[in-house]
Amino acid sequence: MLEFSDRSKLIVQSEIRNMTLECTRTCGLNLAQGVCDMDAPRVVIDGAYEAMKAGVNAYTRYDGLPELRNAIARKFLEFNKVDISSEKNVVVSSGATGAFYSACMALLNPGDEVVLLEPFYQYHLNTLLAIGAVPVFCEMRPPSWSLDEEELKAAITPRTKAIVVNTPGNPSGKVFTGQEMNLLADLCLEHDLFLLSDEIYEYFVYDGRKHISPISSEKVRDRAIVISGYSKTFNITGWRIGYCVCDERWAQMIGHVSDLVYVCAPAPLQWAVAKGINELPQSYYEGISSEHQRKRSRIVAALKEAGLEPHVPQGAYYVLADVSSVPGSNSKEKAMEILHRTGVASVPGSAFYARGGGENLVRFCYAKKDEILDDACRRLRTLRN
Ligand code: PLP
């Protein structure tokens, strides 16, 4: 009888899709999906058209157009204060998702254990499962989503090959401090592990915090695998422009895997993103950060008034809210209850935990136009009644 592969059966279906379907059916406001509905910068949009007209329409080199790799290298020098080589250390891929998948394929064997911090981003879990790696979970505890050093050490075994960190984090909004990064770096050194660092929200940090990448630390530079991209920074999630930056020892093979699966990221869109990186001023990045901080304040206030105590995010654009007061025996029922009563869709907290956690949490994405966010806040406040 024809059957799916054993591997595919391990992949967990996304709750976001379920909530989105129900939200569409009930004509609700979708704060479940992690998509920012603001516009892409004009220079980036125009750049795509210019590139297409200029004939930048063929396959690119397996690791990306030189214009984009050069722009990314300059970004690392200015933003991360690290001097990397655009020829040796950068692999452009199909979004951060493609970069993460390619890195996992290139660096991990089936059976290798990988430490994943709960609450996690579901694609990280599913990617690990898809390639046959074994996720080992370690919980970050609210309110500051702190790491327990002993728990982290206990999660590491002789079979561990990597730790995954996501800063600023989805769904927690946690921005890892220098001290926390140092702890992860020391453990990676001591146990000879890769540090896979997803930094897709690097420009969304609040209250004067600083984004810290492990690549900035000399001691783990040769084992830090930075995953990022421009889906969120330029509001171009559908363009699929992401990258991996790491030591040259790993970069080429990661590029070969990316070539095998995606061939290359869309050529004119790579060119347009390079133009955006080269031409957008510092104020653009400050602007998106302060804009989202403002939106964060609005939803945090509304959730408090609604009686859904928020875990105030330090970065990214999601907020986890405590839904203990909402009727339902688990987070899926509670998210559905909120949707049916207010018309606002969220993601059940259980989607971010593997061992039965998150049942009193739901996640809202607040990267929405002001009028939509205000409407959602107004509707959420009615839960108080
Ligand atoms: N990494 C994290 C933590 C995310 O939250 C997302 C999108 O929600 C991605 C990666 C996806 O990035 P990309 O569109 O570049 O594949």
Q: What is the set of domains in the chain, with CATH numbers? A: 7-40+283-384 (3.90.1150.10), 42-279 (3.40.640.10)
Q: What tokens does 278 get?
A: 């080269």
Residue 235, phi-psi category: left (phi > 0), alpha (psi -120 to 50), beta (remainder): left
Distance (Å) of CA 228 to CA 91, 93, 97, 99, 319 = 11, 10, 9, 8, 21
Q: Which of 363, 200, 207, 178 is nearest to 290 (CA)?
A: 207
Q: Would you say residue 40 has pLDDT above 80?
A: yes
Task: Tell whether the torsion through CA atoms of 192, 198, 203 and 207 is positive or negative.
Answer: negative
Q: In whole angstroms, what is the distance from residue 347 CA to residue 274 CA?
A: 34
Q: What tokens does 183 get?
A: 């702890």
**Residue 12 — very low, low, confident or very high, per pLDDT cuts 50/70/90?**
confident
pTM for this prediction: 0.97
Q: In whole angstroms, what is the distance from residue 233 CA to residue 180 CA?
A: 24
Ligand 1 atom closest to the Cα of residue 316 is 5
Query: What is 363-376 written as a DSSP string?
Result: EEE--S-HHHHHHH
SS3 content of the chain, % helix, strand, coil (to 5): 45, 15, 40
Q: Would you say residue 316 has pLDDT above 90?
A: yes
Which residue's alpha carbon is at the smallest distance from atom 3 of ligand 1? 170
Ligand 1 atom closest to the Cα of residue 96 is 15
pLDDT in tens, 87-128: 999 999 999 999 999 999 999 999 999 999 999 999 999 999
pLDDT in tens, 120-169: 999 999 999 999 999 999 999 998 899 999 999 999 999 999 999 999 99
Q: In whole angstroms, what is the distance from residue 339 CA to residue 333 CA?
A: 10
Output the CA 170–ligand 1 centroid distance in Å: 9
Output the CA 96–ligand 1 centroid distance in Å: 6
Q: In whole angstroms, what is the distance from residue 67 CA to residue 275 CA?
A: 8
Ligand 1 first shell, C-beta below 6 A: 34, 95-97, 121, 166, 170, 198, 200, 229, 231, 237, 242
Q: Would you say residue 14 has pLDDT above 80?
A: no
Ligand 1 atom closest to the Cα of residue 99 is 16
Which residue's alpha carbon is at the smallest distance from atom 8 of ligand 1? 34
Query: What is 283-294 written as a DSSP string?
Result: HHHHHHHHHHHH
